[in-house]
Amino acid sequence: MAVVFERPHALLDVDTHYCPGCTHGVIHRLVAEVIDELECEGRTVAVVPVGCAVMAYDYFACDAIEAPHGRAPAVATGVKRALPDRVVFTYQGDGDLAAIGTAETVHVGTRGENITVIFVNNAIYGMTGGQMAPTTLPGQVTQTSPYGRDVKTQGNPIRICEMMATLSGTAYAARVSVDSPKAIGEAKRAIKKAFQYQLEGRGLSIVEVLSSCPTNWGMSPTEALEWVRTEMQGYYPLGVYKDVGGEENV
Amino acid sequence: MSEKLLMKGNEAVAEAAIRAGCRHFFGYPITPQTELSAYMAKRMPKIGGTFLQAESEVAAINMVLGAGAAGARVMTSSSSPGISLKSEGLSYIVGSEVPCVVMNVQRGGPGLGGIQPAQSDYFQATRGPGHGDMHLIVLAPASVQEMVDLCYDAFDLADLYRNPVMILADGMLGQMMEPVEFENQPHRELPEKSWATNGHQNRRPHNVINSLYLKAPELEAHVRDIFKKYETIREKESRCEAYLADDAEILLVAYGAAARLCKNAVKMARERGVRAGLLRPITLWPFPERQLFSHTEHTKAFLTVEMSMGQMVEDVKLASQFRVPTYFYGRTGGVIPTPEEILEQILKIAGGAR
């Protein structure tokens, strides 16, 4: 019988710790499918964050390093400089990448570090129980913005792809979503392009994936996906913000 | 005969690192380690290595973590305030058991402090900068030649024990010039880096470099494993130099630049008929406890001399098990004690001891 669907080789056969309805699992799978299709698992090193994906080293079948909070791009830089022919990617959440690790994020962009950054934006700190993130939307209620994020006192959400697109060393910056089968297909194409650009030595590639957090948003999984579509995509428009090999802002 | 070159300590240690096989250097500008980074910036591109000026000390130490995890010999260098910033990374590097070498060319603190030589980072270095049950191996050179020799050792010890090694120097050793030769590089048998995250090439299960152990018994077992290594290091690696120590009634204890000044003071004291000597710890962690304790048999007093308000003096008291009175003399903030000042302290103790 023909096999039409199976676990990607680059994803280990283990249960993950992610909450029901969380889209980390989908994003893991997309990254793993891309690694399989590019046949690069044996020469790939993953650098995983502090946050919900902290244990991703147990899920990806490639070699993996667990970085200090926010430092994954710096750790990935070290790996890539030591082993330039390896494929190196970071997998980071919004607190990790856009708050404590902002400097590291900006500087891999400006250096044009030839690595790939998978940025999972769910507008909240999930692992620590739902605090306000740098990407939390205006008015969004979290544990540390219990009256809704007031941009006057708590600042504005940061749009990472737009910022990274301004940096000369960024080769590819795209924002995608995984809220529908169609969106998942587009997300995979973006992730694949990001890895391909790395293989071609073009510089930094970053894919921001809008993700859901039903647990900390206090929603059902379906409601959460709807919130990604209606609320998050309004503030964080999907699209390609930079592509040195193609058209911009498709 | 091997060639002798006149070099600054900071440059000599950089050259030694390259000769030890280090091809990756990540740093951030700070005084007084400046010449080390400048040397790396000049040399690394010529030999196919990496010199990367990072966006911060925090980023630099994490680049060290990445390159070390990939199996490369890697180094970073900083001075006191910068080491504080690297502390987070060092804790992760210890927890992840990644080898690397860290240079601290000490200056005065706390805070921004000053840029003159000091030894006020002893606690930070020997108690383990960073959180958790941890130690660095800490080597303390007292000459430009020893900067070179200990740099060779540092890379070997790091690889052998999978633990960061710090070379704790100061602005005086870093910036003074002395003749130095590079030929006496040791060759230790070192284990393969089969743990490295360098791509499994479909030939082995995936390697993971990690310091996270969410189950308490597993974390305890992991820390105990690290401390088993520390026991071996304590047994095998503690080192010191004894100078006129065997018959000394007053035994000075000093490391690094302060030890050089103490040697002069010891000579001056001997000329005046006072049996002074010097014990110079070369490894600060592990502290040469047994060696120091053995001198409690004949010594009437220890005099610890530091370019700080007194930090190593605590280790001297602990190692001597308080069998002999321990005195302290120190200058700090970048002020360097003179041999005459130290002699005065020796004579004062000698007078009291009579």
Other CB atoms within 10 Å distance of the CB of residue A228 = 25
Residue A222 counted as domain residue? yes
- What's the pLDDT score for residue B127? 95
Domains assigned to chain B: 5-186+222-237 (3.40.50.970), 240-353 (3.40.50.920)
- State the pTM of this model: 0.97
Residue B302: strand, helix, or coil:
strand
pLDDT over 80 at B335, yes or no: yes
pLDDT digits (tens, 9 = 90+) for B208-230: 999 999 999 999 999 999 999 99
pLDDT digits (tens, 9 = 90+) for A118-143: 999 999 999 999 999 999 999 999 99
Q: Does A84 touch chain B (CB under 8 A)?
A: no
| Cα-Cα end-to-end distance for chain B | 49
Residue A107 counted as domain residue? yes
Q: Which two tokens stand for residue A211?
A: 């993700």
- What's the pLDDT score for residue A248? 45
pLDDT > 90 in chain A, percent: 97
Mean pLDDT value of segment A165-176: 98
Strand partners, B243: B278
Q: Does A121 touch chain B (CB under 8 A)?
A: no
Chain B CB contacts of A68 under 8 Å are: 62, 65, 88-89, 92
**For B25, nearest residue in chain A (alpha carbons):** A78
Cα(B62)–Cα(B59) distance, integer angstroms: 5
State the pLDDT confidence band at A250, using cuts at 50, 70 and 90: very low
Chain A CB contacts of B208 under 8 Å are: 57-58, 63-66
Question: Is cis: bond before B110, omega within 30 of 0?
Answer: yes
pLDDT digits (tens, 9 = 90+) for B1-49: 578 999 999 999 999 999 999 999 999 999 999 999 999 999 999 999 9
pLDDT > 70 in chain B, percent: 99
Chain A CB contacts of B129 under 8 Å are: none
Chain B CB contacts of A114 under 8 Å are: none
Of A208, A238, A197, residue with least CA distance to A112: A197
Residue A153 counted as domain residue? yes
Contacts with A148 (C-beta within 8 Å, 6 or more apart), sequence order: A138, A139, A140, A141
State the pLDDT confidence band at A247, using cuts at 50, 70 and 90: low
Residue A189 counted as domain residue? yes
Residue at token pair 């994906």:
A53
- What's the pLDDT score for residue A46? 98
State the pLDDT confidence band at A249, using cuts at 50, 70 and 90: very low
Overall number of domains in chain A: 1
- Cα atoms in the Cβ-side hemisphere of radius 13 Å centred on A11: 18
pLDDT digits (tens, 9 = 90+) for A198-216: 999 999 999 999 999 999 9
Query: Cβ separation of B66 and A66 shorter than 8 Å?
Result: no
Q: Does B219 touch chain A (CB under 8 A)?
A: no
Cα B224–Cα B227–Cα B230 angle in degrees, nearest 5: 165
Residue A18 counted as domain residue? no
Residue A160 sits in a domain whose CATH number is 3.40.50.970
How far does the CA of residue B69 sit from the closest CA of chain A (Å)? Answer: 7
pLDDT over 50 at A149, yes or no: yes
Residue A234 counted as domain residue? yes
pLDDT over 70 at B354, yes or no: no
Residue A13 counted as domain residue? no
Cα(B237)–Cα(B153) distance, integer angstroms: 10
- What's the pLDDT score for residue B187? 86
Cα(A27)–Cα(B338) distance, integer angstroms: 65
Give the structural domain span for A236.
Answer: 24-243
Contacts with A234 (C-beta within 8 Å, 6 or more apart), sequence order: none
Residue B281: strand, helix, or coil:
strand
Q: Which two tokens stand for residue B204?
A: 């082995």
Chain A CB contacts of B96 under 8 Å are: 65-66
pLDDT over 60 at B111, yes or no: yes
Q: Does B206 touch chain A (CB under 8 A)?
A: yes
Cα(B314)–Cα(B317) distance, integer angstroms: 5
How far does the CA of residue A7 sit from the closest CA of chain B (Å)? Answer: 17
Residue A249 counted as domain residue? no
Q: Does A63 touch chain B (CB under 8 A)?
A: yes
